[in-house]
Homo-oligomer: A and B are copies of this chain.
Amino acid sequence: MEFGLSEEQVMLQDALARFLSGTGGLERTRAFAAGKDRRAPEVLQGLAELGVTGLIIPEVHGGVGLSLLDAALAAEQLGRFVAPAPFAATAVMAPLALIKAGDAGQQATWLPRLASGAVVAGVALSEITGARDGAGVEARDGRLYGRAQFVVDYESDLYIVADRARGLYLVAADAPGLTRTDFRTIDATRPTGELVLDGVAAEPLKADDSAAALRAMIDAGRVMLAADTLGAAQEMLDHAVAYAKGRVQFGRPIASFQAVKHMCAEMAAALEPCRSLVWYAGHALDHLPEEASLMACHAKAHLSEVGTFVARTATEVHGGMGFTDLVGLHYWFKRIGFNRQVLGGPQAVRAEAAALQGLAA
């Protein structure tokens, strides 16, 4: 019985942390946010070299064949370093879709390219977790029509699109009839946007039960976002504690004021159990099928709430500095804000958690 990380998992975290801080950390993120490029190819390349892009892809398809818990640990580091890199869709949800619902040919075609980072895949299923503005996609005669908003890892070469009937389809980014509209959000590190599909030829994933594959994608995606928030929130807390120790007001470090200490203690008290929740939810995705969806909902919703609290409180501990761009704290703040809404806001996810237990009316 062991509920904790293996040596290999700790090494994976460390390697990723070294790479992401080595690649420029906050400065790389700033440059990305300020620039016009919507991809950071060298970051993706580095992740591919570390095996992150192929983390959950079986070795026969050129991946590393690790677990979804390992993927959550990677997501945590990406959040910690506010990395401008695609991950939840291209490295987790899309491979899962292919593994669970693709046929041998589809798997052989796409999984090696995803593993190597040669192809980046976005996932368009926000309408399944909650359709806004009447968006949604319909399949007719092998072609897709409609609109898909807030594509995860939108800057991609390939999309996996879910239609209203919960079927899954592969769509090339340059497919005729596909129009892309870029969005700008508060989170400059993860570009998103909308696909308009006007009779786009699409290749279905041919699983018997694509709804189950879709469910697995959503569960895993939610755990990845929760893990991303965990990393970002922990980093904000660490920053806040360090800042409070160094900042002198009224002749003493503000870390010696009980009010500041208690703000930090409240953040730590709320956040520390979240780490175990994310581990458990990540583990459940692979190993506890009857709990996986429920724990994914709880991880997503609870981390959203705790993340929001930490984001605000850590900013307050920084005083005016936290509000400026100078310390860049807002990149984490916004990343946590982004994770909160994507793939279902906390209230929607909690409603789903209730339904999963047969508690809904």
Which A positions have Cβ atoms within 8 angstroms of B?
257-259, 262
6 A-B contacts, Cβ less than 8 Å apart?
Answer: A257-B258, A258-B258, A258-B259, A259-B259, A259-B262, A262-B262
- Min Cβ gap A249→B in Å is 13
- Min Cβ gap A269→B in Å is 14
List, in ascending order, chain B residues with CB within 8 A of A258's CB: 257-259
* Alpha-carbon gap, A258 to B257, bound state (A): 7
- Min Cβ gap A156→B in Å is 39
List, in ascending order, chain B residues with CB within 8 A of A262's CB: 259, 262
* Alpha-carbon gap, A257 to B259, bound state (A): 9
Chain B residue with Cβ nearest A258: B258
- Min Cβ gap A275→B in Å is 26
- Min Cβ gap A211→B in Å is 29
Across the A-B interface, give the 6 residue pairs with the lowest CB-CB distance, nearest first: A258-B258, A258-B259, A259-B262, A257-B258, A259-B259, A262-B262
Chain B residue with Cβ nearest A260: B258
List, in ascending order, chain B residues with CB within 8 A of A257's CB: 258
List, in ascending order, chain B residues with CB within 8 A of A259's CB: 258-259, 262
- Min Cβ gap A255→B in Å is 13
- Min Cβ gap A355→B in Å is 19
* Alpha-carbon gap, A262 to B257, bound state (A): 12
* Alpha-carbon gap, A259 to B264, bound state (A): 13
* Alpha-carbon gap, A146 to B86, bound state (A): 65
* Alpha-carbon gap, A50 to B258, bound state (A): 48
- Min Cβ gap A278→B in Å is 30
* Alpha-carbon gap, A259 to B258, bound state (A): 6
* Alpha-carbon gap, A258 to B260, bound state (A): 9
- Min Cβ gap A261→B in Å is 8
- Min Cβ gap A5→B in Å is 35
* Alpha-carbon gap, A262 to B259, bound state (A): 8
* Alpha-carbon gap, A262 to B258, bound state (A): 10
* Alpha-carbon gap, A257 to B257, bound state (A): 9
